[in-house]
Amino acid sequence: MTKDIIEIKHLKKYFPLRKGFLSSILAKEEYIAAVDDVSFKITKGEILGLVGESGCGKTTLGRTILRLIEPTSGSVYFEGKDIIKADSEDLRNLRRYMQIIFQDPYDSLNPKTTIFDMIAEPLLIHRKEVKNFKVEEKVIRTLRSVDLTPPEDFIYKYPHELSGGQRQRVAVARAFILKPKFIVADEPVSMLDVSIRVNILDLISKLKKASQASLLFITHDLTIANYISDRIAVMHLGKIVEIGKADEVTNDPKHPYTKALLSAILPLEPKQKKRKILIKGEVFSQKAISKGCKFYSRCYIRKKCCEKKEPMLEKVGKERLVACHFAN
């Protein structure tokens, strides 16, 4: 068995632009490149933080990897098997090993279903694949593992009777109950109060260590990504522009976009001096293009070659990949 739980190769997801009837006939069809030729690996037990602005394609990438959204092209290998080519039966069997934690705990839980039924549902769906099938025992044990104790106080409640933090603990429990090997955590703390975010992050980290699962942790906050991730990938308009060890990316960013994101974080000490990098100009169109850097119009170190030649992800140091002609 390969040590790479997930390997993404040249994954693309293009959405067609909607047009009027006449313009669709006269003009060439255009696309929004939500995920534009993305490649990376996630090893067993690793958390890869995926960071970027809202609208850069992070959620689309996460859902495309799980085939909740069908890709335009590319491959997603799960333990060496390309799930993009899997038929419906194979994909159903793989679902047990690949789960997702959604962003909004108020929308991701069925308001008409009890907590017990909600957490038990994955067990019932995958009844044949789960050994020692004892639903009540597994649900209660899982509730304890996410600190919803005593479990008897929660199993017959409905989502509206829980706080936001408790709801997200239920969502985490539902994702981990089948002991999956890979989880996409799509901004799981962004809808929660600041006071309980660290608790949920620590909970996810604890369950990850216990199960040795691998995670793609999606967030727009580099501070959160650095706190929980082993490595960080920075995404801009559908492309990965920098990827490396979490502490190296946050302490010594190489791509100008990463530097700008980090400069927006307030320093811990009020008197601490910090260089502020302002991103000027308009966001480049997300239309699929064949040349040029997508960050060109906003980059403070741009040169003429950046407009004509697209930078590829290349090694900068031992384990860092950066897509910039002038990375330093």
Residue 89: burial class (beta carbons within 10 Å; 0-12, 13-18, 19+): exposed
Nearest CA to 317 among 242, 261, 256, 263?
242
Residues 87-103 pLDDT 10s:
999 998 899 999 999 99
Q: Would you say residue 286 has pLDDT above 80?
A: no
Measured distance CA(183)–CA(47) in Å, rounded: 9
User: Which pair of tokens denotes residue 35?
Assistant: 């995920």
Residues 118/135, Cβ–Cβ less than 8 Å: no
Residues 118-158 pLDDT 10s:
999 998 888 765 666 688 899 999 999 999 999 999 999 99
**DSSP 8-state secondary structure symbol assigned to residue 284:** P
Identify the helix (H) or strand (E) that includes residue 160. Answer: none
CATH 3.30.450.20 fits 4-266+274-322, yes or no: no
| AA identity, residue 16 | P
